[in-house]
């Protein structure tokens, strides 16, 4: 696919990914306000996020399996409709338990975005185009997070935290209409029969030789590294406004506003990572290893500056999140392109993305417990240790990993 049709496809996929983050990251954005205004504990309020990560991760495998067998456009449409309804239901929940149930369902709905999107992109774009534009599409998630951090403080002040979910739900339904209309002209190139034309071909055999043996051992280490980046990325993103509010005694609305640093630095990290991948290393595992090293350095910097240099500490904290997003780009977005002609790219993408949310769920719950009992010193050390573990797992598979795409 080339020209205007390719541009339209990329724009649609970016818009869907933007919407998915608006309707998923919004709860974490207003978490600090929910804790204070509703008078609940961190553990009770964050249970919804932990549960969402679990259902989202498990849903990735289901979505990946279905994505290789059903029409990807229909799966994405179903996800948009479901997440719209579930966001609008949140304001009517009377307890944190009800919120947790609804948000767990939202995690399952959200899982029907990424694997089908990866399948659509790998079918319609060449290897190099996929590598380039999957990074561009990832930018939309950071833009959505930035929009949340900028808009939510004003919404909270004027109409309370519940209004955030009403608006995000409406956005999901608008996006559903846009998606349904926009895919009509390009639907024929996304259907499953088009995928099977290359299945079993010489192109598939060529791609199967790209990765050294034993492939399953390599994927086990890759999954382990992905779990580590999930612990860092989503654990730190979830608790950033709370960290700012508690550590530096800044009002909730302002602490949320400070959170915009994370997506902005993540975009910068993503641009740098994409350039490094394209111009220098040509190896996603090496790129991920480098991202983990930078995350270690920045994490230790947060620990050293959190007592006397609040602004610098916040910047370093956000930089760690940016490094984790760079590792996510290499391991979740670029890596599945290796399997473009195997007939299982959606499932592989789902399994790898599932690993992210194994780490995310564990980190969110663990941080809720440790911060209530030990303050913020222990979580920072845990995140630095996770970055080190991720680096080690990348090194273990680096020599077996091919230099670049065929």
Instruction: Give pLDDT, residue 256.
Output: 66
279 DSSP 8-state letter = I
Separation of alpha carbons 164 and 28, rounded Å: 11
Instruction: Give pLDDT, residue 122.
Output: 79
Answer whether 270's CB lies under 8 Å from 325's CB. Answer: yes
In Å, what is the CA distance from 164 to each residue of 30, 33, 91, 294, 383?
8, 12, 9, 34, 29
Residues 6+ apart with CB under 8 A from 49: 27, 28, 31, 103, 238, 364
CB atoms within 10 A of CB 15: 16
Q: What is the phi-psi region of residue 39: left when phi exceeds 0, alpha when psi lies from -120 to 50, beta otherwise? A: left
Sign for the CA dihedral angle at 238, 239, 240, 241 comes to positive
Instruction: Give pLDDT, residue 169.
Output: 96
Helix (H, G, I), strand (E, B) or coil at 33: helix
Max distance between CA atoms of the chain, in angstroms, equals 62
In Å, what is the CA distance from 325 to each residue of 71, 134, 140, 267, 318?
29, 13, 13, 9, 11
Question: 261-276 and 127-159 helices cross at what angle (nearest 10)?
Answer: 180
Answer whether 331's CB lies under 8 Å from 288's CB. Answer: yes
* CA nearest neighbour of 110 among 234, 219, 201: 234
DSSP H stretches of helix in 249-260: 252-258
Sign for the CA dihedral angle at 203, 208, 209, 210 comes to positive
Instruction: Give pLDDT, residue 195.
Output: 41
Instruction: Give pLDDT, residue 167.
Output: 96
Torsion of CA 21, 22, 24, 28, to 10 degrees: 110
Per-residue pLDDT of the chain (406 residues; tens, 9 = 90+): 566 777 888 889 999 999 999 999 899 888 888 888 888 887 888 889 888 888 988 898 888 888 778 888 899 999 999 999 999 999 999 888 999 999 999 999 999 998 888 888 878 876 667 777 777 888 788 788 888 888 888 898 888 899 999 999 999 999 999 999 888 766 555 443 334 443 433 333 434 434 445 566 777 888 999 999 988 887 787 777 777 777 777 766 666 666 677 777 777 777 777 777 667 767 788 889 999 999 999 999 988 887 777 778 888 888 888 889 888 888 887 777 666 666 677 777 788 888 887 887 777 778 777 777 777 788 888 889 999 999 999 998 887 665 443 3
Separation of alpha carbons 374 and 384, rounded Å: 17
Separation of alpha carbons 61 and 392, rounded Å: 26
Separation of alpha carbons 267 and 277, rounded Å: 15
Answer whether 118's CB lies under 8 Å from 190's CB. Answer: no
CB atoms within 10 A of CB 201: 12
Instruction: Give pLDDT, residue 99.
Output: 94
Burial of 206 (0-12, 13-18, 19+ CB in 10 A): exposed
Q: Is the pTM of this model over 0.75?
A: no
Separation of alpha carbons 369 and 43, rounded Å: 7
């Amino acid at each position: 696919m080339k020209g205007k049709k390719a541009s339209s496809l990329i724009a649609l996929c970016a818009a869907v990914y933007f919407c998915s983050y608006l309707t998923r990251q919004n709860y974490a954005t207003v978490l600090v306000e929910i804790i204070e205004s509703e008078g609940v504990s961190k553990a009770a309020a964050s249970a919804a996020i932990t549960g969402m990560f679990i259902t989202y991760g498990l849903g990735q495998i289901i979505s990946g399996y279905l994505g290789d067998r059903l029409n990807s456009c229909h799966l994405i449409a179903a996800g948009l409709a479901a997440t719209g309804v579930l966001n609008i239901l949140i304001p009517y929940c009377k307890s944190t338990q009800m919120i947790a149930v609804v948000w767990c369902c939202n995690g399952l709905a959200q899982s029907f975005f990424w694997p089908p999107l990866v399948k659509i992109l790998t079918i319609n774009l060449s290897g190099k185009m996929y590598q380039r534009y999957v990074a561009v599409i990832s930018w939309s998630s950071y833009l959505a997070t930035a929009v949340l951090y900028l808009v939510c403080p004003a919404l909270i002040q004027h109409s309370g935290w519940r209004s955030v979910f009403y608006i995000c739900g409406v956005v999901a339904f608008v996006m559903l209409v846009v998606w349904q209309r926009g895919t009509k002209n390009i639907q024929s190139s996304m259907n499953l029969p088009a995928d099977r034309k290359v299945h079993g071909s010489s192109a598939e055999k060529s791609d199967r030789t790209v990765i050294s043996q034993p492939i399953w051992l390599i994927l086990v280490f890759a999954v382990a590294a992905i779990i580590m980046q999930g612990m860092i990325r989503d654990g730190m993103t979830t608790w950033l406004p709370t960290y700012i509010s508690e550590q530096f005694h800044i009002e909730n609305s302002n602490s949320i506003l400070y959170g915009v640093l994370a997506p902005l630095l993540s975009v910068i990290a993503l641009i740098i990572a994409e350039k490094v991948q394209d111009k220098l290393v040509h190896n996603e595992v090496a790129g991920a290893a480098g991202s983990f090293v930078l995350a270690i350095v920045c994490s230790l910097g947060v620990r050293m500056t959190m007592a006397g240099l609040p602004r610098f500490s916040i910047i370093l904290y956000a930089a760690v999140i940016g490094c984790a997003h760079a590792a996510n780009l290499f391991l979740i977005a670029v890596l599945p392109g290796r399997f473009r002609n195997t007939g299982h790219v959606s499932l592989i993408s789902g399994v790898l993305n599932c690993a992210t949310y194994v780490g995310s769920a564990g980190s969110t719950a663990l941080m809720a417990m440790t911060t209530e009992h030990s303050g913020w010193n222990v979580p920072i050390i845990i995140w630095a240790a996770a970055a080190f573990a991720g680096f080690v797992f990348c090194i273990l598979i680096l020599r077996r990993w091919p230099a670049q795409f065929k």
